[in-house]
Amino acid sequence: MKPSKRLGSLSSAIFTEMGIRKRAIEQKGIKVIDLGIGSPDQPPAPHLVETLAKAVQNPLYYRYPTSEGSMEFRETVAAWYDYRFGVHLQPADEVLSLMGSQDGLAHLALAWIDEGDIVLVPDPGYPIYAASVTLAGGEVYPLPLTFDNQYLPDLEQIPDDICQRAKLMILNYPNNPLAATADLAFFEKVVAFAKKHEIIVAHDLAYSELAFDGYKPSSFLEVEGAKEIGIEFNSLSKSFNLAGCRIAYVAGNRDIIKPLAIVKSNIDYGVFLAVQEVAIAAMKADMAGLLPSIAESYQSRRDVLIDGLAKHGWNIEKPKATMFVWARIPEGWSSSEFAFELLEKAGVVVIPGNAFGQQGEGFVRIALVEEEEVLREAVRRIADSGMLSS
């Protein structure tokens, strides 16, 4: 008995290997500092925890929810989008609830991609982008994101024959793993490109609220005409520390969302109503200015890590957003070699950049998912490893 051949094309191998190597180090009695997976380490605001605790006691919430999300949830998403971005959405058919944005991204290709269809995917990029296309039987065309082009895809370099066959383009700003950002001028180019070639645009905005130094990320849907060809995914995981609740949504063009909703209705029955209630409370509290800034803690962590490493010769550009640091590694190492050796010598987990695509070679991704004191210890360990001077 053999599993599907599709599994061989998925990129989870390096994450699995890092987990195995981490356990081996821990068996030696070393406390590993894991800066690998981007899982928020803080709980949501106390009153949101209380809201969830009260909601789970409602006996009516144990019925099947609707797969598209409650109307109150979708209305609150629409209100928050108007408040945050000035984007007007129709709750009934321009918003769809999701069990996390990865859930929606994973199923989007199943809704739109047939065998032989091309999807334009960022490289480096979050692994589910390419994986979803593979699972749907489509073909991935990588869009190189390089430092020289400010980690933005050069749309003019995409061959005409690829543009003609491409059905979908996936973008992600603020970006995981690069922590790169994009402005509205870039999104305007994307809209013009997509209209010209009749390509659907799916923008992943999961890190819209984790921004630093006064920077405020924009929504792709703010651009005139974006809703005619595109949709946008957003999540409450990072913005409100609700990652374990698995609650997100997709917004935008109703005709693009509808096939995804059909796929979802055949796979699940929607998000637990108690979770939808805490999500509603989180968005309403945010609009009322009642939530502490989560971004401030990540900005402080960013500064502790990057300023600390700079003192030891590892100079990394400070990102304007996300919970990640994208770091060029010292010369003489491959990404995997550096990550493996860093775990062995320093007991610190980072993810090799090539786990996110070929363009990631020569970099590692570091997640800011520990308190400042732990990050200072990570800096000390990295400096003591001797790897920065080798």
- What are 288-342's pLDDT values in tens digits? 999 999 999 999 999 999 999 999 999 999 999 999 999 999 999 999 999 999 9
208 vs 10: CA distance, rounded Å: 27
Instruction: Specify the pLDDT at position 14.
Output: 80
pTM: 0.96
Instruction: Specify the pLDDT at position 129.
Output: 96
Distance of alpha carbon 2 from its chain centroid, rounded? Answer: 31
Instruction: Specify the pLDDT at position 107.
Output: 96
Instruction: Specify the pLDDT at position 6.
Output: 77
Angstrom distances, CA of residue 71 to CA of 11, 85, 91, 241: 36, 21, 7, 23
User: What amino acid occupies position 390?
Assistant: S
Please give the domain boundaries of the chain with CATH numbers for all domains: 5-43+293-385 (3.90.1150.10), 46-287 (3.40.640.10)
Long-range contacts of 134-143 (CB under 8 A, 24+ apart): 134/6, 134/9, 134/10, 135/6, 135/106, 135/109, 135/110, 136/109, 136/110, 137/113, 138/109, 138/113, 138/114, 138/167, 141/166, 142/357, 142/358, 142/359, 143/169
Q: Could you read off the pLDDT of 341-368 as tens digits, one per residue?
A: 999 999 999 999 999 999 999 999 999 9
72 vs 76: CA distance, rounded Å: 6
Q: Could you read off the pLDDT of 2-22 as tens digits, one per residue?
A: 888 777 777 667 888 899 999
Instruction: Specify the pLDDT at position 2.
Output: 82
Instruction: Specify the pLDDT at position 191.
Output: 98
Instruction: Specify the pLDDT at position 11.
Output: 64
Share of the chain above pLDDT 90, in %: 92
Confidence of residue 390 (pLDDT cuts 50, 70, 90): low
Mean predicted confidence (pLDDT) in 160-176: 97
Confidence of residue 180 (pLDDT cuts 50, 70, 90): very high
Instruction: Specify the pLDDT at position 328.
Output: 97
